[in-house]
Amino acid sequence: MTRRDRITNRFPIRQAETDRLAVAGGWAFLAAWLTPHVLIRALALGIVLWLASTPLWAQDSDRQQMKGLDEQVQEIKSDVLGIAAELSLLEEKLLYPSGTQVAVFVALAADDPLRVDAVRLQINGQLVAHYIYSFKELDALRKGGVQRLYVGNLPTGEHQLDVLVDGKLEGGADYSRTGQFTFSKGVEPKLVGLTLAGPGSGRDPIELGNW
Protein backbone atom coordinates (compact mmCIF):
# COMPACT_ATOMS: atom_id res chain seq x y z
CA MET A 1 0.00 0.00 0.00
CA THR A 2 1.35 3.32 -0.98
CA ARG A 3 1.73 6.25 1.37
CA ARG A 4 -1.14 8.04 -0.33
CA ASP A 5 -3.50 5.15 0.36
CA ARG A 6 -2.55 5.08 3.99
CA ILE A 7 -3.23 8.79 4.28
CA THR A 8 -6.60 8.42 2.46
CA ASN A 9 -7.70 5.55 4.69
CA ARG A 10 -6.93 7.51 7.83
CA PHE A 11 -8.91 10.59 6.78
CA PRO A 12 -12.39 9.26 7.76
CA ILE A 13 -11.13 8.43 11.23
CA ARG A 14 -9.83 11.93 11.72
CA GLN A 15 -13.09 13.43 10.33
CA ALA A 16 -15.25 11.40 12.72
CA GLU A 17 -13.05 12.37 15.60
CA THR A 18 -13.33 15.99 14.56
CA ASP A 19 -17.13 15.73 14.41
CA ARG A 20 -17.25 14.08 17.83
CA LEU A 21 -15.10 16.79 19.32
CA ALA A 22 -17.29 19.46 17.67
CA VAL A 23 -20.47 17.94 19.11
CA ALA A 24 -18.89 17.53 22.53
CA GLY A 25 -17.76 21.11 22.39
CA GLY A 26 -21.27 22.23 21.44
CA TRP A 27 -22.81 20.38 24.39
CA ALA A 28 -20.16 21.80 26.67
CA PHE A 29 -20.95 25.31 25.44
CA LEU A 30 -24.71 24.71 25.86
CA ALA A 31 -24.20 23.30 29.36
CA ALA A 32 -22.05 26.27 30.23
CA TRP A 33 -24.70 28.69 28.94
CA LEU A 34 -27.69 26.98 30.56
CA THR A 35 -26.87 27.96 34.09
CA PRO A 36 -29.47 27.35 36.86
CA HIS A 37 -30.44 31.02 36.70
CA VAL A 38 -31.13 30.81 32.97
CA LEU A 39 -33.07 27.55 33.39
CA ILE A 40 -35.24 29.08 36.11
CA ARG A 41 -35.98 32.13 33.97
CA ALA A 42 -36.87 29.93 30.99
CA LEU A 43 -39.15 27.77 33.14
CA ALA A 44 -40.85 30.84 34.60
CA LEU A 45 -41.38 32.30 31.12
CA GLY A 46 -42.95 29.05 29.98
CA ILE A 47 -45.32 29.00 32.95
CA VAL A 48 -46.34 32.61 32.33
CA LEU A 49 -47.04 31.88 28.67
CA TRP A 50 -49.09 28.83 29.65
CA LEU A 51 -51.12 30.76 32.19
CA ALA A 52 -51.69 33.56 29.69
CA SER A 53 -53.07 31.19 27.08
CA THR A 54 -55.13 28.94 29.36
CA PRO A 55 -57.79 31.50 30.42
CA LEU A 56 -58.75 32.06 26.79
CA TRP A 57 -60.95 28.97 26.98
CA ALA A 58 -61.28 28.76 30.76
CA GLN A 59 -62.74 32.28 31.04
CA ASP A 60 -65.33 31.54 28.36
CA SER A 61 -66.34 28.41 30.23
CA ASP A 62 -66.53 30.31 33.53
CA ARG A 63 -68.66 33.03 31.92
CA GLN A 64 -71.10 30.45 30.60
CA GLN A 65 -71.31 28.78 34.01
CA MET A 66 -71.84 32.11 35.80
CA LYS A 67 -74.50 33.11 33.27
CA GLY A 68 -76.29 29.82 33.81
CA LEU A 69 -76.11 30.20 37.59
CA ASP A 70 -77.40 33.78 37.40
CA GLU A 71 -80.38 32.67 35.31
CA GLN A 72 -81.14 29.90 37.81
CA VAL A 73 -80.93 32.36 40.72
CA GLN A 74 -83.32 34.76 38.96
CA GLU A 75 -85.79 31.93 38.33
CA ILE A 76 -85.61 30.86 41.97
CA LYS A 77 -86.14 34.44 43.16
CA SER A 78 -89.15 34.77 40.87
CA ASP A 79 -90.59 31.51 42.18
CA VAL A 80 -90.01 32.56 45.79
CA LEU A 81 -91.74 35.92 45.21
CA GLY A 82 -94.67 34.17 43.59
CA ILE A 83 -94.98 31.71 46.47
CA ALA A 84 -94.72 34.55 49.00
CA ALA A 85 -97.54 36.44 47.24
CA GLU A 86 -99.74 33.35 47.23
CA LEU A 87 -99.03 32.70 50.91
CA SER A 88 -99.85 36.32 51.73
CA LEU A 89 -103.21 36.05 49.98
CA LEU A 90 -103.94 32.75 51.70
CA GLU A 91 -103.00 34.21 55.08
CA GLU A 92 -105.26 37.21 54.49
CA LYS A 93 -108.17 34.95 53.58
CA LEU A 94 -107.64 32.89 56.73
CA LEU A 95 -107.15 35.86 59.07
CA TYR A 96 -109.76 38.14 57.49
CA PRO A 97 -112.69 36.15 56.07
CA SER A 98 -114.75 38.01 53.51
CA GLY A 99 -117.76 38.11 55.79
CA THR A 100 -115.98 40.17 58.46
CA GLN A 101 -113.16 41.89 56.56
CA VAL A 102 -112.79 45.67 56.75
CA ALA A 103 -110.01 47.59 55.00
CA VAL A 104 -109.27 51.32 55.27
CA PHE A 105 -107.35 53.08 52.49
CA VAL A 106 -105.73 56.53 52.42
CA ALA A 107 -105.25 58.82 49.42
CA LEU A 108 -104.24 62.45 48.96
CA ALA A 109 -106.35 64.94 46.99
CA ALA A 110 -105.00 65.57 43.50
CA ASP A 111 -102.45 68.38 43.16
CA ASP A 112 -102.59 69.12 46.89
CA PRO A 113 -99.30 70.43 48.38
CA LEU A 114 -100.21 69.20 51.88
CA ARG A 115 -97.35 67.27 53.53
CA VAL A 116 -98.89 64.44 55.49
CA ASP A 117 -96.65 63.37 58.38
CA ALA A 118 -98.86 60.87 60.22
CA VAL A 119 -102.36 59.39 60.29
CA ARG A 120 -103.96 57.85 63.36
CA LEU A 121 -107.02 55.66 63.07
CA GLN A 122 -109.53 54.46 65.71
CA ILE A 123 -112.45 52.12 65.19
CA ASN A 124 -115.10 52.00 67.90
CA GLY A 125 -112.77 53.89 70.24
CA GLN A 126 -109.86 51.45 69.78
CA LEU A 127 -106.59 52.54 68.16
CA VAL A 128 -106.00 50.26 65.18
CA ALA A 129 -103.37 52.15 63.17
CA HIS A 130 -100.83 54.95 63.62
CA TYR A 131 -98.68 55.44 60.56
CA ILE A 132 -95.77 57.87 60.02
CA TYR A 133 -94.98 58.61 56.38
CA SER A 134 -91.56 58.78 54.80
CA PHE A 135 -90.66 61.19 52.00
CA LYS A 136 -90.96 58.44 49.36
CA GLU A 137 -94.36 57.35 50.64
CA LEU A 138 -95.65 60.93 50.64
CA ASP A 139 -94.33 61.39 47.12
CA ALA A 140 -96.21 58.24 46.06
CA LEU A 141 -99.44 59.61 47.55
CA ARG A 142 -98.97 62.90 45.71
CA LYS A 143 -98.58 60.98 42.46
CA GLY A 144 -101.96 59.29 42.95
CA GLY A 145 -100.91 56.32 45.03
CA VAL A 146 -103.24 54.67 47.53
CA GLN A 147 -102.14 53.15 50.83
CA ARG A 148 -103.93 50.38 52.67
CA LEU A 149 -103.71 51.73 56.19
CA TYR A 150 -105.64 49.03 58.02
CA VAL A 151 -107.25 45.64 57.48
CA GLY A 152 -109.17 43.77 60.17
CA ASN A 153 -112.36 42.01 61.17
CA LEU A 154 -115.64 43.61 62.19
CA PRO A 155 -119.08 42.16 62.65
CA THR A 156 -122.00 43.38 60.59
CA GLY A 157 -123.63 46.58 61.80
CA GLU A 158 -122.77 50.24 62.46
CA HIS A 159 -119.23 51.27 63.44
CA GLN A 160 -117.53 54.52 64.39
CA LEU A 161 -114.34 55.69 62.69
CA ASP A 162 -112.12 58.44 64.16
CA VAL A 163 -109.26 59.88 62.07
CA LEU A 164 -106.46 62.23 63.10
CA VAL A 165 -104.15 63.75 60.46
CA ASP A 166 -100.89 65.59 61.29
CA GLY A 167 -98.76 67.38 58.73
CA LYS A 168 -97.46 70.69 57.43
CA LEU A 169 -98.75 73.21 54.95
CA GLU A 170 -96.80 74.42 51.93
CA GLY A 171 -95.35 77.36 53.89
CA GLY A 172 -94.17 75.11 56.72
CA ALA A 173 -96.98 75.78 59.23
CA ASP A 174 -98.20 72.87 61.33
CA TYR A 175 -101.44 71.26 60.21
CA SER A 176 -103.76 68.99 62.21
CA ARG A 177 -107.30 67.83 61.46
CA THR A 178 -109.69 65.27 62.96
CA GLY A 179 -112.71 63.56 61.51
CA GLN A 180 -115.42 61.33 62.94
CA PHE A 181 -117.51 59.08 60.72
CA THR A 182 -119.99 56.24 60.91
CA PHE A 183 -120.07 53.40 58.40
CA SER A 184 -122.14 50.26 58.02
CA LYS A 185 -120.65 46.80 57.68
CA GLY A 186 -122.65 44.25 55.72
CA VAL A 187 -122.01 40.61 54.92
CA GLU A 188 -119.59 41.53 52.15
CA PRO A 189 -116.02 42.85 52.65
CA LYS A 190 -116.02 46.56 53.49
CA LEU A 191 -113.58 48.91 51.75
CA VAL A 192 -113.40 52.39 53.28
CA GLY A 193 -111.48 55.19 51.57
CA LEU A 194 -110.12 58.31 53.27
CA THR A 195 -109.13 61.24 51.04
CA LEU A 196 -106.96 63.89 52.75
CA ALA A 197 -106.76 67.51 51.61
CA GLY A 198 -105.23 70.82 52.72
CA PRO A 199 -107.14 74.05 53.42
CA GLY A 200 -106.42 75.48 49.96
CA SER A 201 -108.00 72.64 48.01
CA GLY A 202 -111.64 73.68 48.55
CA ARG A 203 -112.45 70.21 49.86
CA ASP A 204 -113.14 68.79 53.30
CA PRO A 205 -109.91 67.99 55.19
CA ILE A 206 -110.94 64.32 55.50
CA GLU A 207 -113.50 62.74 53.20
CA LEU A 208 -114.94 59.26 53.70
CA GLY A 209 -115.92 57.15 50.72
CA ASN A 210 -116.85 53.57 49.90
CA TRP A 211 -114.30 52.03 47.55
Which of 75, 81, 129, 79 is closest to 105 using CA atoms?
Answer: 129
pTM confidence score = 0.58
pLDDT at 192: 95
pLDDT tens readout for residues 119-150: 999 999 999 999 999 999 999 999 999 999 99
User: Is residue 175 within 8 Å of 166, Cβ to Cβ?
Assistant: yes
DSSP-derived pairing of the beta strands 157-168 and 147-153: unpaired
How distant, in Å, are the alpha carbons of 105, 120, 200 from that of 110?
A: 16, 21, 12
Instruction: Please state, as a whole number, how many other Cβ atoms lie within 10 Å of the Cβ of residue 189.
Output: 15
What's the mean pLDDT when you consider all of the chain?
78
Instruction: Reply yes or no on whether the pLDDT at 71 is more than 60.
Output: yes
pLDDT tens readout for residues 169-211: 988 899 999 999 999 999 899 999 999 999 988 899 999 998 8
